[in-house]
Structure 1
Amino acid sequence: MSAFESGIYRNIFKEIGKTEDEISSRLKEIVHTFFYDEEERIYHETSGDMGYLTDTGNNDARTEGMSYGMMMCVQLDMQEEFDRIWKWSKTYMFMTEGENEGYFAWSCQTDGKKNADGPAPDGEEFYAMALFFASHRWGDRDGIFEYSKEAKDLLHSCIHKGENGRVGTPMWNKDNYQILFVPGIGFTDPSYHLPHFYDLFALWAYEEDREFFRKAAEASRNFLVTACHPVTGLSAEYANFDGSPMNKELPWGQFGDFFSDAYRTAANIGLDAEWFGIDKGQYSIPLKMMNFFQTDLEAARCAYKVDGTPLERPVLHPVGLIATMAQSALTIPYSDNENSDFSTAKKWVEWFWNQPLRKGVRRYYDNCLYLFAFLALSGNYRIWK
């Protein structure tokens, strides 16, 4: 039975022998480092009751990290920090005019100045999900803190821009129900596909938008089966709508390989298995990846083609890769048989447990994925109804 139906969430750390005290203590330490440690924190508070998360490798604030921070905060019952991040997002990142009115600028300087006037859809979908959870956990208030209305309005923009005289383009392809890498472009990012979010949007969005998200959830689960290699399980950073790697050279680079964005795909599949358990074949993917890599050190060795061909390209986020592989263990049922699939998954969870948070300038992305994985594996990444 899925967690959505039962309200019961696995604690895989406990399944592999960690104690409640060990898990709780470790989570408190991680949260303190991520949000409050003067040397290592990602989160920073500003005047006006606001706060932002900074991408330490690029010295900016991104909708990816801001929306991630809000999801972390609602899971951890940190409403003050949630509201600060949301207020910063609405004050500096939200666009009120032009083609992208109703969306968020994907990157801003830490003083709030926009670096771009385009959005990144993974930010919008995480904003909406975090806002719905905040509404259900803490209740709506006035203005921008009427969380549920903000979420509904955002999702409505995401699928209806360009209709009835509205300027701009939607974030989903209206023909195949797949989320786009950016609005108006002809390809997708497999790690943006979050069917477990769309199932909930189909319950809580405006009534006229719910059927769209029901179809999007089905489309994304089917897409993930085709986007992940049948032997290695690896997906590309960018993919065509049929799931094949998007190998076209773009002005900002080539993204048809298994690299940083793609790490999240396995973690997303794991959380979907926990929350809803609707398997279209995608739940076999993480075990294929675990068997392909064999060890955590092999996984962090280099980038790969999706067929497993190694590339002369170093991994930028080795801690994040280990974290997402560990989170994907949620697809594999518990077993005490030493020769079971869970025995393979257990190795990855142990490797992750023994891996500290990353330090240094590249820590932002790794540690975001790390905190999400710890929440998921400890039973603390939950649906708030």
Structure 2
Amino acid sequence: MSSVVRQGAFHTNQYRNMLFDYGYALSEIEDRIHTCWKQLFGDSPDTRIYYEMGKDMGYMLDTGNVDVRTEGMSYGMMMAVQMDQQEIFDRIWRYTMEYMFINEGPNAGYFAWSCLPDGTRNSDGPAPDGEEFFALALFFASHRWGDKNETPFDYGQQARKLLNTCIHKGAEDGYGFPMWNLDNKLIKFVPSCEFTDPSYHLPHFYELFARWANPEDQQFWMEAAVASRHYLTTACHKETGLAPEYAYYDGTPNNEHGYGHFFSDSYRVAANIGIDAEWFGVAPELSMIAERILTFFSDKNPEDYRRYTVAGLPLEDKALHPVALIATNAVAIMASANHEHARSTVERFWKTPLRTGSRRYYDNCLYLFALLALSGRYRIWHPQ
């Protein structure tokens, strides 16, 4: 990878408010953020995705599948720490530990990726995108609010323990698998398989893990950050910038189960590249991917978004989450703020409302993340 050309917020503690830079008033931006939060975490029946359970728990509901997923739970915790909502953070984390944490078997130490709202598990297997978001949200909680003396609210210790499991699972007893391939340092789709999901690659998270994980694990995480940045340059198409949902370690699409095209998971790659640029500086190769994505979608009508081959051929399936795609494309501009289509991409996002209806969960999660990122409110919380 080439050297970074713009120092990121990790070093400067300066976060760009791209919405303000593009002409939106600060009062409008703040109102949009707080209104969005209330619509997702309040009692609006058309947009809410957070629900409380009993006196001290809460969960994020995948409204399309009517289940609770580690993806959404970890997203909810990240949103809560960014919005300084510790009670909601703790409610989600308490539910997660009560119903989703796996205590025994080959996946002990991970989290069951799906359960019913009442806590009944749909699976005893994990999905690594949840674990990596849990870990960083816990670190941020530790740094922003301080660790409590009670388990599991000793946030920092919980994060370090989880990351240690992610890369050392099975090393001593051969029981279970790590979530990363220890040779190439790439995250797996699930621990027992040997392929990946490009949207799971979060080099900006790994940079922070390399500073805050157990000392003996820090070198691994720094190497993982380098490996994932390089991997994205191989997995994203050289002309369109599009990534497949699943891919092999050499970057080629994995079509064995029909997931080798650009579809719902893939949307997150654009946003991940944008956040990586904001936090740790613009890497030219990743900026080029962002530019290709912005160019590819510049002449597309959101009402006709599709599943695409990575080469850009539209397929029959309509996009399942068009609002999510609009949101993540907007975040991509943070890696290429001067691109000719950056302003129009942000304008498209600003004019798009939250999604209503049964499929709102994924769209609205990525919408709020985009809003936080573009307003400079998706921040690194450092140790005090």
Same fold (TM over 0.5): yes
Distance 1:258 1:86 in 2: 32
TM-aligned CA deviation for residue 280 of structure 1: 5.8
The residue that corresponds to 1:61 in the other structure is: 68
**After alignment, is 355-364 or 306-315 more displaced?**
306-315
Q: Confirm or deny: 8 A CA contact 2:282 2:335 kept in the other structure.
A: no
The alpha-carbon distance between structure 1 residues 299 and 377, as it changes in their structure 2 partners (threshold 3 A), is farther
**Structure 1 residues 65 and 138, CA, compared in 2 at 3 Å: closer, same or farther?**
same
Q: Is 1:23–2:29 an aligned residue pair?
A: yes
User: Unpaired segments of 5 or more residues in structure 1?
Assistant: 335-340
State whether residues 299 and 321 of structure 1, in contact with CA within 8 Å, keep that contact through their aligned partners in structure 2.
no
- Aligned with 1:322 (options 326, 329, 333): 326
Cα distance in 2 between the residues matched to 1:25 and 1:301: 29
Q: Alignment partner of 1:303: what SS?
A: strand
- What SS does the corresponding residue of 2:107 show, helix, strand or coil? coil
Relative to the length of structure 2, the TM-score reads: 0.96
Structure 2 partner of 1:150: 158
Give the Cα separation in 2 of the matches to 1:58 and 1:218. Answer: 35
| Contact in 1 for aligned 2:294/2:332 (Cα 8 Å) | no
Identity %: 56
Give the equivalent residue in structure 2 for 1:6: 12
Q: Which amino acid aligns with 1:347?
A: S
Asked if 2 retains the 8 angstrom alpha-carbon contact of 1:296 and 1:348, the reply is no
1:37, distance to aligned residue in structure 2 (A):
2.7
2:43 corresponds in structure 1 to: 37
Contact 1:300 1:321 in 2 (8 A): no
Match of 2:53 among 25, 46, 50: 46
Segments ≥4 residues shifted beyond 3 Å = none
Greater RCO, CA 8 A, separation 6+: 2
d(CA) in 2 for partners of 1:318, 1:155: 33
Which residue of 1 is the match for residue 101 of structure 2?
94
Which SS does the other structure have where 1:348 is aligned?
helix
Distance 1:228 1:241, change over 3 A: same
- Give the Cα separation in 1 of the matches to 2:365 and 2:36: 11
The aligned counterpart of 1:108 is 115
Q: Distance in 1 between matches of 2:207 and 2:109?
A: 23
Q: Which of the residues 180, 185, 197 maps onto 2:188? A: 180
SS for the counterpart of 2:368 is: helix
TM-score, structure 1 normalization: 0.95
Gaps of 5+ in 2: 1-6
Matches within 5 A, 1:1-385: 1-39=7-45, 40-141=47-148, 142-165=150-173, 167-248=175-256, 250=257, 254-277=258-281, 279=283, 281-295=285-299, 297=301, 300-334=304-338, 341=339, 343-385=340-382
Work out the CA distance in 2 between the residues paired with 1:352 and 1:278.
Answer: 22
**Is the CA contact 1:103–1:154 (under 8 Å) kept in the aligned structure 2?**
yes
Q: Give the secondary structure class of the aligned counterpart of 2:51.
A: strand
Q: Would the alpha carbon gap of residues 180 and 280 (structure 1) be closer, same or farther in structure 2, given more than 3 Å must change? A: farther
**Deviation at 1:98?**
0.4
Q: d(CA) in 1 for partners of 2:218 and 2:300?
A: 40
Distance 2:288 2:212 in 1: 29
For 1:69, give the aligned amino acid: G
Quick one: structure 1 residues 296 and 326, their matched pair in 2 at CA, closer, same or farther if it must change by over 3 Å?
farther
- Computed over aligned residues only, the root mean square deviation of the Cα atoms, in angstroms, reads 1.1
Aligned length: 374
Q: Distance in 2 between matches of 1:269 and 1:304?
A: 20
